Amino acid sequence: MPEPPAIVLDRISDSMQLRHLTAEEKKILAQYLAPFDFEPECYLWHKDDQCIGIYLLTHGNVEISMENTGFKEIIVPEFGNGFLGESGYFGPKIWGHSSVKALTKCNGVFLPSDRIAEFQTNQPELAHKFERCMFKSVSDKLESANQRILSLRHNLNLVMKKVEELPGIQQARTQVDDILGELLSPDMALKLEFINQIPEQLWPDILEYVKHNLSG
């Protein structure tokens, strides 16, 4: 068996996620892996990028987020030393809405998509052990995301408690309830039903009338 690249072997030897692999298994695994390095603020991948492999971050921290219609939601604000892009292990894909950005200088190794089938076929037992390590990393990320959700919920409850203590909040709430009660009254429902029956071409004249006769 040819010697694996020294940089790859050094990185997986330091990985806590692969600590259950023997030295010989790590040496075999290293034959299928390639190194990666990212500077701070660089993206390991961005939404709509093509999946090129499964990343194992060995040094540094990243931010995991989802982006949709211009809105960015931070799923895990800081994640380090673990697998990223695990779903790519099961076939080629587009990352979709997910993005991973380096917060610090990051490095590690990745298993290229075009070598996964070869790895699974040639090293089935090692592949199963690798998969167990990978799924443990998924569990860690889910736990991190869950803790963040609990923290956000706690902070929201604190904010709502402060809102309830604001002077005049109860009076404002009563006024809103009165307005909604008026809008939802049977009489208003009849008016809305009548308005909905007005032909569209008459609305410019109606609005012009309101502007000149009811304004001020």
Query: Domain of 149: which CATH number?
Result: 2.60.120.10
- As a whole number of angstroms, the distance between CA 171 and CA 175 comes to 6
CB 82: neighbour CB atoms within 10 A?
25
* Tens of pLDDT, residues 131-181: 888 888 777 777 877 887 788 788 878 877 777 777 777 777 787 777 777
* Tens of pLDDT, residues 67-89: 766 667 777 778 888 888 887 77
In a domain, 64, yes or no: yes
Q: Would you state the pLDDT for residue 97? A: 72
Q: Would you state the pLDDT for residue 36? A: 93
In a domain, 149, yes or no: yes
Q: Would you state the pLDDT for residue 46? A: 81
In a domain, 123, yes or no: yes
In a domain, 105, yes or no: yes
In a domain, 53, yes or no: yes
In the chain, the number of structural domains is 1
Average pLDDT taken over every residue of the chain: 82
- As a whole number of angstroms, the distance between CA 41 and CA 111 comes to 23
Domain that holds residue 135: 6-156
